[in-house]
Structure 1
């Protein structure tokens, strides 16, 4: 235990974890001050931008390359973390306690304060060893990723400050794996948050009205749940499929009604849909409208979120950044599995800007605990991740 406690990089990581940058209403000032201190320690310049809102800072620590005219490398992470139910934790969620087995407990230990600090630790190692890099590195820390980044990455990629960084390739977060193999995420499904505004015959709850909102909702639910079940079957029967390879549909909100004996004139049902890469978006949109008509009409579709279809990052010889990344893993005899990310990260906005991006968190042999109670990361896994990223960053920045 003492060796972990005495390790400088572990202590820096734990200090970062102790900052409660928890949604909602995050106060980012303590995080920005912490990152300024890290930049001073590294001897690197730091910039703070506010592309969306004055209280939503984007922090960029830069290591200028030997050939700064080349497209640069973006090492991205986010500063915010999701809420906690402290009574469900066996360790205080923002104390960063470390137990006798080296498990560091804190919200953000996996998602994703670990990766942000591993970038800086890797850079510290490279600079101490006198390494030179052809390409400039920009270590970026984003706000509000956990609430879809409207004032974070979404706003930043549209800004002049972002364009001036001349990003050629980006690393961002991945997910832990419980086995030896690491995951590398080259694409994300398209997120649709779909509101069905269902109108129908209203009246007394004792009567058998026709075309009520309940009947229409029932048909819509049946259609969507049948489709959902077909995707479950696809996932179970195809041994090569992971969750990111199929479309998921989940009912998340139902709103409407006034009292128990009144049939309401309107009800709203909200669904979270994540469209797989092989889905034709126009055809899927037409299918939803067709089901609305089958239900009797009077159903309006409102898209809260309707992400476009995006091409994944190339993971072959045509992408020199991927080749460099994969080459390091082979050199280290590490196994990797390219996957489609099942949820969403800031990578989607980077890819939408036409930039190659890979999600990678070097956490294997680790239970997946992002957003869960008692989130932890093993100290030796964290330190090994620094070693891995030291080699990866050097290789990719010298492409």
Structure 2
């Protein structure tokens, strides 16, 4: 597809100018860099937005990308219609565990009225590429492949196998993507010892390195009371009872906001609570409401994010029991009733508080990342990721993981309107990945028990 550029000058002139910049060698931009920019545009132009991602076109593109960069590849389909794409560079020492570089194919939907340009065109304007997935996380996928291709062009041969996985459905929980992959025989064959996954952009000049992530608790709370005629004035109604609970929830949310205001950039270390829906009313066949009926049921949904520490899970269980008037031990169940008037149900709940060690003496993978960042003079800080990624599935298998996207000096725009990545920062990320992958791929040390399998090589996790 054609490269698309917008600006203040005439479209024709900019198209000619950009074509010259992309296709003609220059002192500032190499052929490989031009190729990476073009590939990111092509990937953005493939519609992998939920709820109907075009995975077939994405896989075709990824297969060509792997071949062009000298990687072997294969496609798994553990769930029909949900392909998992694998590409790799074979290591020379098969006794060493594999380094996994993970990304996901799907992106979130776009609200077109909020975008000032086509979200699926890969438009380049003022040194930025715009499009859904430029931050989350198609840019990282292209960086993986381009970095590996650049290394192989220079004759690099890793000791460890480097595996790239591009999985489906991360944006809707990942259960039919990475979730099924980690349980498969195919996954076991690769002997994964370490994984890199996605991070976040940062408006500051440093980068975030995430060693854990908040756990999603998706909770439904309902209130029940007698339905009534709209002309009556009952003492209690389901909506009224739910409103009383909602007030308590919003008060707790405000407390967390006050804590967040003093912890800039570290929202992963507070409990996040968002009200995502309210539902009540008696409806007709055409979904319009019956206006003279007081409903007997009212319901709300919460997206709660819990830092990966046991103390936070205990605190939240206490809070939910206070909101509903339950005994605390009841909330450990997936669903239940509280008194005569309330019920709750967890749609999704992850309560496995695992993090990856950031002690360089304990975790050699962290020590290597630290050394690369120091060598390249890259400022960074460690933190808990505020949302969820596919890395959680590997942490549950005791595989050390870090979330990191090489995007600094850029606002966080994943899932937002006019998502973009600066071209220079995108290209810089490729160079960083080259150094990082080369370092990880040539580390030869085995564990003291001489078994370099993923969970026994090092003690990378702390359960807090």
Same-fold call, TM > 0.5? yes
Does the alignment pair 1:307 with 2:350?
Answer: yes
State the distance in 1 between where 2:379 and 2:152 align. 28
State the distance in 2 between where 1:385 and 1:48 align. 26
Query: More displaced, 239-248 or 113-122?
Result: 239-248
Residue 80 of structure 2 aligns to a residue whose secondary structure is coil
Does the alignment pair 1:207 with 2:232?
Answer: yes
Partner of 2:276: 252
Give 1:102 shift: 2.1
Alpha carbons 1:281, 1:309 under 8 Å: kept = no
Does the alignment pair 1:327 with 2:371?
Answer: yes
Q: What aligned pairs does 1:10-89 form with structure 2 within 5 A after superposition? A: 10-51=37-78, 53-89=79-115
Residue 97 of structure 1: which of 123, 127, 131 is its match?
Answer: 123
Partner of 1:284: 316
Residue 186 of structure 2: which of 161, 166, 186 is its match?
Answer: 161
Alpha carbons 2:143, 2:433 under 8 Å: kept = yes
Give 1:286 shift: 4.2
Partner of 1:233: 258
Give 1:87 shift: 4.1
Does the alignment pair 1:150 with 2:193?
Answer: no
Per-residue CA deviations over 1:174-230 (Å, capped at 9, x if unaligned) read 111111101111111111010112211221234332442123212211221121111
Per-residue CA deviations over 1:85-118 (Å, capped at 9, x if unaligned) read 334333322221222x321122111111000010
Alpha carbons 1:216, 1:296 under 8 Å: kept = no
Partner of 1:375: 419
Larger Rg: 2
Per-residue CA deviations over 1:326-354 (Å, capped at 9, x if unaligned) read 11001111100111111111111121121
The runs of 5 or more residues in structure 1 that have no matched partner are none
Partner of 1:3: 21
Partner of 2:330: none
Q: What aligned pairs does 1:209-224 form with structure 2 within 5 A after superposition? A: 209-224=234-249
CA RMSD of aligned residues (A): 1.8
Q: Relative to structure 1, is the Cα distance of residues 284 and 368 closer, same or farther in structure 2, using a 3 angstrom cutoff?
A: closer
State the distance in 1 between where 2:377 and 2:314 align. 43
State the distance in 2 between where 1:98 and 1:169 align. 35
Query: More displaced, 265-274 or 201-210?
Result: 201-210
TM-score normalized by the length of structure 2:
0.82
State the distance in 2 between where 1:248 and 1:286 align. 15
State the distance in 2 between where 1:201 and 1:217 align. 13
Residue 273 of structure 1: which of 304, 313, 318 is its match?
Answer: 304
Residue 364 of structure 1 aligns to a residue whose secondary structure is coil
Partner of 2:295: 264
TM-score normalized by the length of structure 1:
0.94
Give 1:4 shift: 4.8
Alpha carbons 1:79, 1:144 under 8 Å: kept = yes
State the distance in 1 between where 2:46 and 2:431 align. 25
Partner of 1:112: 137
Alpha carbons 1:21, 1:28 under 8 Å: kept = yes
